[in-house]
Amino acid sequence: MKIVQLFLLFIICSLQVPSFADLHETREVLASYSNNHHLILQNYDRLSEEWNIYASEKGENWDLDRLLLAIEYAAEKHLGQVRKDPDQTPYIIHPIGVAGLLWNVGEVRSIDVLIAAVLHDTLEDTDATEEEIEALFGPRVLYTVKEVTNDPSISGEENKLRQIEHAPHMSLDGKLVKLADRVYNVSDLSLPPPAWTKEKVDAYYSWGQKLLDVLPGTNTALEKKLQFMIDHQRENAFTPTPIKCPPFTMWVDEDGNVVCGYFPTSK
């Protein structure tokens, strides 16, 4: 009976969500859900072009349509939500950014891991259901999303402690998504939320360090990136900078200079 129910749910979801025949259709959907936010569309354009090239090389073994479907699904589910940055950027910039970090920095090519990254906050922060995610994207994606989803009945501080305890026991997929998510969130601290005190920012860096310490061997490039950002951004927290970058595009290079742009892929 459960198999029949999931099959019917898949048919219903397929009727509700348009088929993605090309990158432009997905871009239009994303634009409509993000108020044509230039940075979100810029990140999507960059990633989707690279994904399209890779998919053309891999053929049917790399289902780009399923990844594009995940982007629309997440954009629709996160509609109306915003990040905590001063510009209150539409929230969808975050899951796309996490997938981008896995792709560009971590050089992760697993379609299921990238999809899980795009969907990683849907169970926790939206009305998405486990049944929907499994029917549309498969059991492996659902398992990963569940691994990185916080328990809403537990306080924020307790959830943080549980994350540290749970992280070493996650699947590699879950560890990759968790690590990339932390890299993204730490990068946002280069421009902290207006309401955050220096103590709160410093505590977040400490939490990031603890998470990094329990995930050795997950992905060398992502681990190095997170460690570098913690070491360099932490000491410069709340220090005025001569330039202002859009959210997720400001980081500190090896010489301590503030730089705007996508994270470099150098290891």
206-225: per-residue pLDDT in tens?
Answer: 999 999 999 999 999 999 99
Q: Is the full-model pTM beyond 0.85?
A: no
Residues 6+ apart with CB under 8 A from 6: 131, 134, 135
The residue length of the chain stands at: 267
Mean pLDDT of 138-150: 98
Mean pLDDT of 116-126: 98
Q: Give residue-wise pLDDT tens across range 154-170.
A: 877 888 889 999 999 99
Catalytic residue among 124, 131, 202, 223: 124
Give yes or no for a contact between 250 and 237, defined as CB atoms under 8 angstroms apart. Answer: no
Residue 106 near residue 173, CB atoms below 8 Å: no
Whole-angstrom Cα distance, residue 172 to residue 189? 26
Backbone angles phi, psi at 196, to 5 degrees: -80, 135
**Domains in the chain, start-ordered, CATH in brackets?**
23-260 (1.10.3210.10)
- At 249, the pLDDT band (50, 70, 90 cuts) reads low
**CA separation for the pair 89, 39 (Å, rounded):** 9
Centroid of chain to Cα 47: 13
Catalytic: 124?
yes
| DSSP string of 225-266, one letter each residue | HHHHHHHHHHTTTT---SS---TT-EEE-TTS-EEESSPP--
Residue of 25, 63, 85, 125 marked active site: 125
Using a pLDDT cut of 90, give the percent of the chain over it: 64
49 as an active site residue: the answer is no
What does the pLDDT read at residue 102? 98
The strand pair at 258-260 and 250-252 is best described as antiparallel
**Tokens representing residue 166 in the block:** 């749970």
Q: What confidence tier does 106 reach under pLDDT thresholds 50, 70, 90? A: very high
Three-state SS string across 183-226, please?
A: HHHHHHCCCCCCCCCHHHHHHHHHHHHHHHHCCCCCCHHHHHHH
d(CA 190, CA 258): 9
* Alpha-carbon radius of gyration of the chain: 18
Report pLDDT digits (tens) over 12-61: 454 444 344 489 999 999 999 999 999 999 999 999 999 999 999 998 88
